[in-house]
Amino acid sequence: MRAAIARVTLLVVEQTLNTHHHPHHFFGNQVFRLDVDRRVPARVLAIAGIEAEGKAFNEGLYRLVMTGCGDTEVVL
């Protein structure tokens, strides 16, 4: 994800925000969490949904694709 962003801009991602708990919104958080020692900000309901369903989303995605998501983590 960082490489894709770097191809289109020299700007640095300063903050991300999880608006809700769908995996296409929070998978990839671990890439940006490396920049700072803190959680990725999220709305209260998003946090609850990610905590409740994140692992199942990750396991389901892996079963569907079997490659390319092995390093995906559920990170807030």
Average pLDDT over residues 4-23: 85
Classify residue 44 as exposed, middle or buried by CB count within 10 Å of its CB (0-12, 13-18, 19+).
exposed
Q: What is the predicted pLDDT for the residue at 37?
A: 60
pLDDT by residue (tens digit) across 28-75?
777 776 655 666 778 888 889 888 988 888 888 777 776 665 566 666
Average pLDDT over residues 5-17: 86
